[in-house]
Amino acid sequence: MGKETGSLQRRGFWRNAQSLWQGMALTFRHMLQARRRRAPLDIADPNYFAHQTGLVTLKYPYETLPVPENGRYRLHNEIDDCIVCDLCAKICPVDCITIESVKATEDIGETSDGTKKRLFAPMFDIDLAKCCYCGLCTTVCPTDCLTMTKVYDFPEVDIKNMIYHFTDLSPEQAEEKKRLWADQQEAVAKAKAEALKAGQQKKP
């Protein structure tokens, strides 16, 4: 009985010693590997997965991982190509796009893909503090002027600065466009009323 207990104790001792040795060897191996660092490689780089050991953390923001060109981060609206159709605002699941439109009274040209422009946008705001970066707005945009960019680092101290304004009209220009549209509507209504009156007078 005593002999058997002694044998069990010896086996337990060697098992524990072996396990301790394996743990220490693993720790020591990691300590040695930590002398090397993984280079900040683009995911498209053929060596991206080649470096399997060493430190993987970067000294951000002094070092950054290259972001792919098709990264889906901060939105941008190329307002010259926007036809102010409102589709992006309608599909946005969090209502973070606010658009105000006013009809043009003159020819305002075309977008770069040849789509006729008929509206101005006195307001085209995107609240990127609310945006969930789903990308739906970019998929419905008929002129592809609304895109997601690779800019992912744009913190602000004041949350109001997360609202991005894309209108190309100054407040004065916006007021002017609204006034021109209202004047034109008034003139059209007046002409219609006069034509109606003239038509009624002609009747026997």
Which parts of this chain interact with ligand SF4 (CB under 6 A)? 75, 77, 82-88, 91-94, 96-97, 99, 126, 131-137, 140-143, 145-146
SS3 content of the chain, % helix, strand, coil (to 5): 40, 15, 45
- Which residue lies nearer to ligand SF4 by CB, 144 or 194? 144
For residue 150, the minimal CB distance to ligand SF4 (Å) is: 15
Radius of gyration of the chain (CA): 33
- Which residue lies nearer to ligand SF4 by CB, 58 or 169? 169
Place of tokens 């190509």: 81
- Which residue lies nearer to ligand SF4 by CB, 37 or 72? 72
- Which residue lies nearer to ligand SF4 by CB, 58 or 123? 123
DSSP 3-state of 146: strand
All residues at 6 or more sequence positions from 103 whose CB lies less than 8 Å from its CB, including other chains: 118, 119, 120, 181
- Which residue lies nearer to ligand SF4 by CB, 15 or 118? 118
Burial class (CB in 10 A: 0-12, 13-18, 19+), 195: exposed
Beta strands in 24-156 (DSSP E): 75-77, 97-103, 119-127, 146-148
φ/ψ region of 97 (left if φ > 0, alpha if ψ in -120 to 50, else beta) reads beta
